């Protein structure tokens, strides 16, 4: 723990999260851990929080149901897609994603290579094919809700 782990896409580490106050005594199953990603400036950014508690299949099912159906979940009102590497840059450790109507390509070191606003359904269909290998018929899908 707390050691840098270099991957082909970025540098990460797992750290134990400090208790919120002195009275916050946790059992081993209540301890919280963070997976952090090192940014281009050497700053560690929290990515995932987890505990050592057992996660049962029903817990996963409920979480998936909530994130895919609740009107407050950003997954119900925004197009979000991500991929490690891309066909455009030959997958050399970059990450590419679409979020909030923008295409973003980031180098392994966290440097943003591309950040552009997607302005039309045609442009979105082209990007989905070029970066994600998804071939969609523009006429059969309406992406106007997310642009």
pLDDT at 65 over 90: yes
Does residue 146 sit within a domain? no
Residue 121 has what pLDDT? 84
Does residue 67 sit within a domain? no
For the residues 71-80, what does the mean pLDDT come to? Answer: 88
Residue 25 has what pLDDT? 57
> Which pLDDT band holds residue 87 (cuts at 50, 70, 90)?
very low
Does residue 71 sit within a domain? no
Q: How many domains does the chain have?
A: 2
- Tell me if 73 sits within 8 A of 63, measured CB to CB: no
Task: Tell me: do 92 and 131 sit in the same domain.
Answer: yes
Task: Tell me: do 130 and 82 sit in the same domain.
Answer: yes
Does residue 23 sit within a domain? no
List helix spans (H) across the chain. Answer: 57-69, 121-132
pLDDT at 92 over 90: no
Separation of alpha carbons 84 and 102, rounded Å: 17
Does residue 94 sit within a domain? yes
Task: Tell me: do 82 and 128 sit in the same domain.
Answer: yes
Helix (H, G, I), strand (E, B) or coil at 66: helix
Residue 95 has what pLDDT? 85
Instruction: Tell me the per-residue pLDDT of 95-147, one tens digit each, with 9 for 90 and over.
Output: 899 998 899 988 877 778 888 999 888 888 889 998 888 887 767 667 776 66
Does residue 63 sit within a domain? no
**Owning domain of residue 35:** 5-18+28-51
Helix (H, G, I), strand (E, B) or coil at 34: strand
Separation of alpha carbons 83 and 133, rounded Å: 10
Residue 88 has what pLDDT? 53
**Count of other CB atoms within 10 angstroms of residue 57:** 7
Taking the alpha carbons of 58, 60, 63, 68 in that order, is the dihedral positive or negative? Answer: negative
Instruction: Tell me the per-residue pLDDT of 9-63, one tens digit each, with 9 for 90 and over.
Output: 788 999 998 776 655 555 555 689 999 998 878 889 999 999 888 889 999 999 9
């Amino acid at each position: 723990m707390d050691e840098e782990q270099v991957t082909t896409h970025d540098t990460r580490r797992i750290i134990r999260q400090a208790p919120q106050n002195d009275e916050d005594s946790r059992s081993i199953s209540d301890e919280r851990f963070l997976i952090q990603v090192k940014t281009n400036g050497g700053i560690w950014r929290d990515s995932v929080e987890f505990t050592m508690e057992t996660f049962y299949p029903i817990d996963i099912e409920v979480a998936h149901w909530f994130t895919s159906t609740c009107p407050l979940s950003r997954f119900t009102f925004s197009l979000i897609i991500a991929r490690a590497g891309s066909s455009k840059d030959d997958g050399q450790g970059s990450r590419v994603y679409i979020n909030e109507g923008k295409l973003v390509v980031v180098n392994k070191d966290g440097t943003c290579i591309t950040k552009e606003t997607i302005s039309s359904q045609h442009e979105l269909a082209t990007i989905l094919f070029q970066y994600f290998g998804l071939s969609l018929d523009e006429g059969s899908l309406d992406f106007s809700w997310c642009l």
